[in-house]
Amino acid sequence: MNLRLNSEFGTLKAVLMHRPGKEIDRLTPYNKEYLLFEDVPYLEALQKEHDFFSDLIKQSTGAQVYQLREMLVKVISDQDILLQLMRESLKKSGLVHLAEDILERYSTAECATALTAGIKIHELKRKIPNLKNGELMDFAFAIAPCPNLYFQRDPMALTPSGIIFSSMKMEGRQREADLVRTIFENHPEFKDFVNRLYPVMGHENPPSIEGGDVIVLSHKAVAIGNSERTDEKAIYHAAKAMLAEGSVERVYEVHLPKKRNYMHLDTVFTVIDENLVLTYPDALNAVLQTSLYTLKEIKDDKINIKREVLKESLLTILEREIPHLEILHTADGNPDYSMREQWFDGANVFAIGARRVISYNRNIHTNRALRQMGVEVLEIPSSELSRGLGGPRCMTMPLSRAKV
């Protein structure tokens, strides 16, 4: 598995997912905003819907579905890696000094749960009875939970050149990216195939970039959204690494309006075949500023790249990169339905092959329009999954696809 992807729609061979767990049960009406959620889902129903989703992927493609938790348990069986992750996770609460005590008393599986679902002070007291916790109240988090972890698209992105490991904008999600990076750089099945493009080695506190903003347009071109979650500086460094590696010739920086429905580039459009893009009405015309990065020269190991500001809409760029482009609008362009279905990520379908997608069953008008275009639409239940405001693409990190 070479951990590179040259398309968004080649037949799926392997994918990373995370089955929602105890971290979801940590959400309350009072902490949900702090934990970057807009609702309080019902965990058991959420798990059932997620299981349906992962089973559907296996049945329809034969792809291997890797589960984040299993991979994490394998990697943290190395005590040094576990200690480092535990210390990092305890920094925010100022309880780093408890890391060794936790490792002594918690099993590897319990540590995996602590790293994803967090630990409360009163839970620690059960294991460490003489705990002096200073000012922290019993219900405070020693380690905060990661309820967004089932959105596996955000912590990294695979490109034709290698892996961009995310530097998450919201502090509350940075640990997700740290977990995923630690897994891939240490897991026996993957570590030898990691070509890390970002963060650049030695860069402390790298500028933020998130996987949902990275879309492979063609063998030679990648688009990265300059969004509320991805900074221009990060795009520059990622573009430089990709262009220097040589697989990619053009990297587009797409300036997204700072609005909730433009959170990531993949909420604006998805590529579902070599000539077909799904978007919501007017989104492609609303994005008017783009920049193009290309390689200038590599001289004495110094890489120079060129940035050109294009006075073109995203639509113009897609038409140039994707010959004979066809565009399908969510809900077939009906303004009321498309607005409603875009709220539930109508444009964020997961392509498991060319013109084969997995979509939320609630987006009925979009699914009908897709079928009319000859796209095979497999539907998943979405009453609870959609409450996190992310679609099927957001929940999946493809690790291998058939080459297109």
What residues are annotated to the active site?
394
Name the phi and psi angles at 183, rounded to 5.
-60, -50
CB 269 within 8 A of CB 277: yes
> 357 near 376, Cβ under 8 Å?
yes
